A and B are shown apart, each in its own frame.
Chain A
Amino acid sequence: MSSIEERVKKIVAEQLGVKEEDVKPEASFVEDLGADSLDTVELVMALEEEFETEIPDEEAEKITTVQLAIDYIKENLG
């Protein structure tokens, strides 16, 4: 079983079409990884599916970096 970090990074890489090694914790989806607004919506949907959860819109808006995504999943599924 991969760690939450690994699973999040893999999804980010797949969704945004970037290399996994570029998916650093501090990386911002929009500024560093080239995501547009639709990409970020799709990314949250992919995270919801992977971790079988629902992320409310007001929380989803705050998830702007890889680390914030990892934190959110850990806090809410930990």
Chain B
Amino acid sequence: MTITTSLNDKVALVTGASRGIGAAIADTLGSLGAIVIGTATSEAGAEKISARLAEKGVKGAGRVLDVTSADSLAALLASVKEEFGAPTILVNNAGITKDNLLMRMKDEEWASVIDTNLSAVYRVTKACLRDMTKARWGRIINISSVVGSMGNAGQSNYAATKAGVAGFGRSLAAEVGSRGITVNTVAPGFIDTDMTRVLPEEQREALMGKIPLGRLGQPEEIASVVAFLASDAGGYVTGETIHVNGGMYMA
């Protein structure tokens, strides 16, 4: 058999695509033929995405999106639909951390992480769903984290959102399966990005000792799993959480 991973001219929306895992996902979907709209929170970030996609010969553009703002989202989708068509592949990747021990956590640290990592998944997915149901085809892939399953001291807010998107995904998968739409969660482990580079050396060493593959993951190794789920090859997978963590946590 042949494995079909082509995404010819499907419109893919990837949030948080200026760097790290999101950038790799945008590039990989683009390399498979998708028209990619990658979002960033700043104009400079969006321009960087546009330049990167153009350099790689990917159709699409970088755009500004604040995932916590319904107005920003409405404006983005209106312009994307007009220029490229409605997205039928959605990768909810944008996320932040505001780590703190719970006893010290500020309400703002809790609320902003919930809003950006979890409520935004609700917001963006809902906004894209109507066109996917019309198309009778859609792929929704939410980027979670190993922390959502195994927990991590100092990340109760982050872990709550990452476990939350997995439950969200299972419920939505049950709702929209009849419309040819799959909803899955990809849970990266310890990936070599700006988010993990800020960790103290000691903590990195300790984490590394718990990874059977003995190394950090690369963003492209998350992107390839996302690409599989977005393609026809992954068409029968839905409601699932796929852990990609070098064996650090085996669910």
Contacts and interface: CB of A to CB of B under 8 A. Distances in A.
A1 interface: no
A50 interface: no
A61 B130 CA distance: 18
Nearest to B130: A45
B133 interface: yes
A45 B176 CA distance: 15
A38 B178 CA distance: 9
Nearest to A39: B178
Interface string B165-204: 0000000000110110000000000000000000000000
Interface string A42-66: 1001000000000000000000000
Contacts of B179: 38
| Overall SS of chain A's interface | helix
A67 to B, nearest CB: 25
Contacts of B130: 45
Interface string A11-38: 0000000000000000000000000101
Nearest to A37: B175
A45 B130 CA distance: 9
Contacts of B176: 38
Interface string B142-179: 00000000000000000000000000000000011011
Contacts of A45: 130
Contacts of A42: 133
Interface of A: 36, 38, 42, 45
8 contacts: A36-B178, A38-B133, A38-B175, A38-B176, A38-B178, A38-B179, A42-B133, A45-B130
